[in-house]
Amino acid sequence: MADQSNSLRVRLVSPERVLFDTTADAVELPAKNGYMEVLYGHAPLLAELGAGDVRLHGAQDSGSAGSKQVYNVSWGFVEVLPDRVTILANDALKPEEIDVPRAEQQLDRGHKQWNEAGDSEEKYTEALHVIAEAEAKLATAQEKH
């Protein structure tokens, strides 16, 4: 386990609440173009979030060394600095908070939007966002079982 000076300060914020503000050894998060992992000393960057899981490795307040915490996020931004990560998510949930039937309905709605998009690139993009968000929620919910 890294000592306090080599730990990242990680904060996950949604419009409704702060899900956590803790220290961790590493954090994985879904950038729009794929997952990335951040360790202490990472180069500063600002990235757009996609839909998927934020995974904290070695979170200090979880009570056990080598622990991993998972949160589902959908869209937003992440600011990475050498010693801290701030995640601003449009939507963020703990795995146990995911309503599976609602996520399945969202997935069906996304497929329907896709089928009805016609020639509109905007409608296809919106449908892809809905589908990606629903699939990420369902994957997170399935993983908790």
User: What pLDDT is stored for residue 79 in this prediction?
Assistant: 96
User: What pLDDT is stored for residue 2 in this prediction?
Assistant: 43
User: What pLDDT is stored for residue 46 in this prediction?
Assistant: 95
Distance CA 143, CA 125 (A): 27
User: What pLDDT is stored for residue 23 in this prediction?
Assistant: 92
Distance CA 117, CA 96 (A): 33
- Strand residues in 1-129 grouped as ranges (E): 8-13, 18-24, 26-31, 34-39, 45-57, 68-81, 84-93
Are the C-beta atoms of 12 and 71 separated by less than 8 Å?
Answer: yes
Q: Given the structure tokens 């839909």, which residue do they identify?
A: 51
User: What pLDDT is stored for residue 28 in this prediction?
Assistant: 95
Are the C-beta atoms of 85 and 114 separated by less than 8 Å?
Answer: no
Full strand arrangement of the beta sheet holding 68-81? 18-24, 8-13, 84-93, 68-81, 45-57, 26-31, 34-39
User: What pLDDT is stored for residue 31 in this prediction?
Assistant: 92
| pTM listed for this prediction | 0.81
pLDDT along the chain (145 residues), means of 10: 71 93 93 92 94 88 62 94 95 89 91 87 88 88 73
User: What pLDDT is stored for residue 64 in this prediction?
Assistant: 47
